[in-house]
Amino acid sequence: MSFTSITFAGFFLLVLALYWSLRRKTWQNVVLLVASYIFYGWASPWVALLLGISTVVDFFIALGMQRSPARSRALLWLSLVLNLGVLSFFKYYNFFSLPISAQLAQLGIPMDIFLVSIALPAGLSFYTLKKLAYILDVSRGTYKPVTNFIDFALFVSFFPQVISGPIDRAQKLIPQLQSARAWKGQYFASAWPLLVMGLFKKLVVADTVRSLVDRIYTIAVPSKFLVGIAALGFTLQILADFSAYTDLSRGAAWLLGFDTSINFNLPYLALTPSEFWNRWHITLSSFLRDYIFFPLRRALLKKRTLPDWLVQSLPPLVTMFVSGLWHGAGLTYLVWGIYYGVLIVIYQAAGIRGDWKPNNKLALFGAWLVMFSLIVFGWMLFRAPSMDWIGMALFKAPWLTSARDLVIGLVVLCVLVVYSLPLILKLLLDRFTLPGSWWQAAFFALITVAIIVYTNSSNSDFIYFQF
């Protein structure tokens, strides 16, 4: 059930009406929990069963940690093995099944069962990280386990964010679930700009650009010029697509009375790789930072015999490698993750870290241009269909195959500029006008018209559904 579908609109309006007709938070949470499982299991009920079983297991594991501190470490490992085991199986089975079957066939052992394709349940990567953060915090003693199962189950399955985040921590969401809620006009005022902007970014910008980008990436040997144009296009597409989902998720949550996490903060204005990851998919970045980067760095600092360069470079390399693994089972994702790890190490070695910023405007523009170019190249790696395709595009393809390539590339580039302008205009309006101003109202009126025009021509899923 996609956020942009008529089915979801009807579903959400029914949930909203029933939810706010109830006064007690217990019954409100019951409605949301039932609605979350209906939403999640709409296409495949078995995935809701998987979500439910894993939720029950982690609920009791967390309670067991509190009741028996001596068994806390064993229970932590049990949760890690179960959660990461399930995630790894669904995420990487298809990646390994074909080569394993081929090797066994060479030995004369028919293993056709390995060739069965297994679909990754939507949202598995997201709610697994949410549960892992909760279990790790309980094991560290920084968060007390929830004793009300409905509250915990709703925290895990909360339907506005169960498919693609944001990955809210227990400290952020559970206190809101445990508090009494009554309708306020502020909820609608906070929600509607997010909902309108989310629909615009998805239906008008992302899906339109996607149709152009996909055509270039299906060319076996595209020219380097077209590869560059496609990389620019995907840079716009993925930001519009994923931030649109976050906007719609946060807007829906606001209408239910919840303030959920901001997931994007102008990531393409970053000047360094570290700053980019502090601005892009913020809830994932904070998870990687708090549960992988910092623990690994602290562990390495205790090893006084290790050279300083290793202590400084290993944490970002491992962290970004894990980010690549999380995004998918493919060499392109792993290379993309390592690529960012190497970039962070290089910038750190050059003394560029934290909130670094050049002193003059020309140097500032140069630093931004370099970083933006590195981001675009990274998205080219991320979107590429295979490493062979990347090798062909970078090392064997000509710069231009014909005048037709030049014309096509320039036309696509013009389209990208046109579809980027509303997002740039929104940024300028947010910077230089007040919310509710005439300029803001005119902007939202225009993009609402665009949404109506584009509604029937856009029906693709959000990019991060596949992760």
Three-state SS string over 70-96 comes to: HHHHHHHHHHHHHHHHHHHHHHHHHHH
> Which DSSP state fits 460?
P
* Spatial distance between the Cα atoms of 449 and 464, rounded to a whole number of angstroms: 27
398 within 8 A of 225, measured Cβ to Cβ: no
Given the residues 327, 339, 340, 378, select the one marked as catalytic.
327
Q: Is the pLDDT of residue 435 over 90?
A: no
pLDDT tens readout for residues 24-34: 999 999 999 99
pLDDT of residue 115: 47
Alpha-carbon dihedral angle through residues 201, 203, 209, 211, given to the nearest 10 degrees: 160
pLDDT, tens only, 127-171: 999 999 999 999 999 999 999 999 999 999 999 999 988 999 999
Catalytic annotation present for 327: yes
- 401 band by pLDDT with thresholds 50, 70 and 90: confident
- Asked whether 34 and 233 are in contact (CB, 8 A), the reply is no
pLDDT of 464 above 70? no
Phi, psi of 305 (to 5 degrees): -85, -10
pLDDT at 316 over 60: yes
pLDDT of residue 249: 96
Residue appearing with tokens 């508090």:
179
d(CA 62, CA 153): 13
How open is the CA angle 277-262-334, to the nearest 5 degrees? 30
Q: Does the bond joining 398 to the residue before it have cis omega, within 30 degrees of 0? A: no
Residues with Cβ within 8 Å of residue 251, at least 6 apart in sequence: 190, 191, 192, 193, 194, 195, 198
Which tens digit of pLDDT belongs to each residue from 209-266?
A: 998 999 888 888 888 999 999 999 999 999 999 999 999 999 999 999 999 999 999 9
Where are the extended beta strands (E) located within 207-331?
A: none
Instruction: Pick the closest to residue 393 from 215, 234, 230 (CA basis).
Output: 230
Average pLDDT, the chain: 89
Task: Output DSSP code: residue 112.
Answer: G
114 — pLDDT class (breaks 50, 70, 90) = very low
Residue 175 pLDDT exceeds 70: yes
Residue 414: count of CB within 10 angstroms of its CB = 10
Say what percent of the chain tops pLDDT 70.
Answer: 92
Structure tokens at 237: 């597409």
Compute the distance between CA of residue 15 and CA of residue 158 in angstroms, rounded to an integer: 13
Q: Please write the tens of the pLDDT for every residue from 68-106.
A: 988 999 999 999 999 999 998 888 776 665 655 555 556
Cβ-Cβ contacts under 8 Å for 283 (sequence gap 6 or more): 165, 166, 167, 168, 261, 263
* 79-83, 353-357, 366-370, 372-376: least confidently modelled range: 353-357
Contact assessment for residue 240 and residue 202, using Cβ atoms and an 8 Å cutoff: yes
The answer to whether the beta carbons of residues 281 and 463 sit under 8 Å apart is no
How does 127-137 read in b/e, with b if 16+ C-beta sit within 10 Å? bbbbbbbbbbb
| pLDDT at residue number 354 | 73
Better pLDDT: 414 or 2: 414
So where are the chain's domains? 6-182, 187-466
